[in-house]
Amino acid sequence: MPLPRHAPRRPGMPRRHGPARRGALGLALLLSLLAGPALAQERAFQPPADATIQRDSREARRLSAPGLRGPVGTAPRQASLDLAIREVAGRIWNPNTGRHDRVRLRGYVDAGLPRGARVLADRIVAPTIRVTPGDTVRMTLRNELPAEPDCPVGGGHDGPGCFNSTNMHSHGLWVSPTGNSDNVLLDLRPGSVFQYEYNIPADHPAGTFWYHPHRHGSTALQVASGMAGALVIEGSRKPGARADEPGDIDVLTRGMPEKLLLFGQIPYGCFRDGLVQTVADGADKGQFTCAEGETGLVQSFFQQLGFGTMPFPGWGGTGRFTTVNGEVQPVFTMTAGRVERWRLLHAGTAAQIGVSLRPVAPGRAVPPGGVPAAQAEAFVASACGAARLPLFEIQTDGLTRAAVRETAVDWLQSGYRSDLLVAAPEPGLYCLVDEPDPATTTTRTLQPQALLGIVRVLPAPQRVTLAPAALVRDALVRAAQARLTGPARDRVLAELQDRAGIRLASFTWHRPILASELTGRQTLEFQVNDLDPQPPGGPPPQPTAAYLVDNAAYDPAVVNRQLPLGGVEEWTLTANQFPHAFHIHVNPFQVVSATTADGKDAFAVDPLYAGMKDAWKDTLLVNQGYTVVIRTRYQRYIGEFVLHCHVLDHEDQGMMQNVVVTPPGVAARRVAAEAHRH
């Protein structure tokens, strides 16, 4: 029986309705019923639905060239999909009240589903796009949001606004930044229909990437509304006989249960007379509140997400909660001793997340239906043990590490992705915790610890005797023994069984950049300069700070940096006030060094930088007063794109620059780059 169009079967997946699948579902249901009560009241973890993708077919070819007549042939390695941006009605559980709040948010909807297909109710998370290296991905984007008559002609790129105008960014993909590829300089008004085309190179690394809007002025508010989805590159390439012929880490993780955790931070609120309603007094004063039956919206930049404005309370003071795939405090299920691959994606706009797994203390129960907000901090402190299950990071920002990194807390900034291998040796309940911000966080108010979810670990068929690190190493070794041959097999096994740690050199796609390769240098400073405070009792909140890069706010008419195709450069990054997440499009970078304000090695003393030395990333925290050095190659692609702070409200208020890569001897349009090159 073929799968329905809305659930395409990937190689190696069982058929969704086959006997094996039905049997597995039945067994899982039986075990979960044995493991604990109140399942009907729990919000079970659900992965985002996979986007409907037409592959290598007459239908795919028709979708790739709408309006053409005549014979239609096949197009090898072609993947076509159709996304609409609409106002989506849903609900979010609120631990403050113990009930679900109704919300109406801007969201991505799979427009490729056949008519009459059943869509899960109350899902506010975007579909996951799964493609492979070498694919030509054609994505039709339909902006079906309400018209905005007040949005000025030309887009109004001088600050936050035009919140229903949009475009698309394939964050982290190594593709062209121009034309109808990853072009974030486009302005797609309501009613627009536009087809993006991403030619993913055959040598693109397999990993976890994502997509989100990137129109300057509306980026933060749209992402805060939940407009973000995972974009997964799946690979099956095996390492070659030579050490310089890498393979995909998927070869070793194939067959492991996989969980995609898309973290959202949605500051929805209910409005009266144009103002967000807040709690008037008490311990929760200033938190957003909605009366029962009201519908929460995300529509005011300065009241709901404008860091640096008053009286915005910061994410921790909004009274809203980090969602996992659109749910607050979902319940996960694992099996003891079985290694899983978790793809973590921070799709929020600002507040960092520190992910840990803590065993629930013996005899402690989890309240049916979830932990109330008033009890959450005490519950984590008393019921979630101080011990943390080790997590094993294999990729950062979609790029495989040279070696597995073991950590107790996995820190994510806005835009970060982290692929982990997770194994629980003992059955029972575990807390998925957002750890309190470390003392090195240079924000005015530190975020407290919070409960992200509960993990129910079911008993294994046989008693597990190995520790998590041994379970992970054993799973990788067994996969290499079963799937690799010849010299590659011998080399990979030697790496995995290295006494110094689990090495993954045969699965890394970027060569380290040596000092001898450098052809130039760049400097960049993120700056927040305070403005005069607003008088009390004045108009709705406005900015109280200027957000700049190198003393200038974003100007769409200026190219700030002209970079040479084929160049290899070292960048020095600093920030004068607050932490900022540096993100540059197209080419990833290698993290070389990070020095604290008092001259210490941040890799050694700051948990937010632990394990980052020599890692390859596309987004990186620049803490206040720190000096961070990265290196990058400008390979293959020319054209204009941007760099910016990925604290997205900072970007929309001006913390962004235009960048262009050109062949040697080619002049860009108006350039203001000379101050940064030396």
pLDDT in tens, 258-293: 999 999 999 999 999 989 999 988 888 889 999 999
Which DSSP state fits 635? -
If you average pLDDT over residues 664-673, what whole number do you get?
64
40-149+159-236 adopts what CATH topology? Immunoglobulin-like (2.60.40)
Q: Would you say residue 431 has pLDDT above 60?
A: yes
If you average pLDDT over residues 209-214, what whole number do you get?
98
Max Cα-Cα span within the chain: 75
Torsion of CA 381, 387, 392, 395, to 10 degrees: 20
Three-state secondary-structure class, residue 20: helix
Q: Which one has a higher pLDDT value, 27 or 550?
A: 550
Distant-in-sequence, close-in-space partners of 618: CB < 8 Å, separation ≥ 6? 171, 172, 397, 398, 415, 583, 584, 588, 589
Distant-in-sequence, close-in-space partners of 528: CB < 8 Å, separation ≥ 6? 308, 545, 546, 547, 548, 576, 577, 578, 650
How much is the pLDDT for 224? 96
Whole-number Å distance between alpha carbons of 434 and 450: 5
Q: Residues 216, 554: contact at Cβ < 8 Å?
A: yes
How much is the pLDDT for 147? 95
Residue 611's region, left for phi above 0, alpha for psi from -120 to 50, else beta, is left
- pTM of the predicted model as reported, rounded to 2 decimal places: 0.89
Three-state secondary-structure class, residue 641: strand
Long-range contacts of 161-164 (CB under 8 A, 24+ apart): 161/217, 161/218, 161/301, 162/215, 162/217, 162/218, 163/106, 163/218, 163/221, 163/222, 163/299, 163/301, 164/106, 164/189, 164/190, 164/218
Domain 515-676 has CATH 3.10.450.50: no
| Stated length of the chain | 678
> Which residue in the block uniquely carries the two structure tokens 């990937």?
10
Residue type, position 54, single letter: Q
pLDDT tens-digit readout, 134-149: 999 999 999 999 999 8
How much is the pLDDT for 315? 82
Q: How many CA atoms lie within 13 A of 517 on its CB side?
A: 13
If you average pLDDT over residues 545-574, what whole number do you get?
95
Of 99-108, 117-126, 571-580, 600-609, the least confident? 117-126
If you average pLDDT over residues 624-653, what whole number do you get?
96
Residue type, position 610, single letter: A
Three-state secondary-structure class, residue 90: strand
Which DSSP state fits 467? -
Its sign, for the CA torsion 447, 529, 228, 581, is: negative
The band of 16, judged by pLDDT with boundaries at 50, 70 and 90, is very low
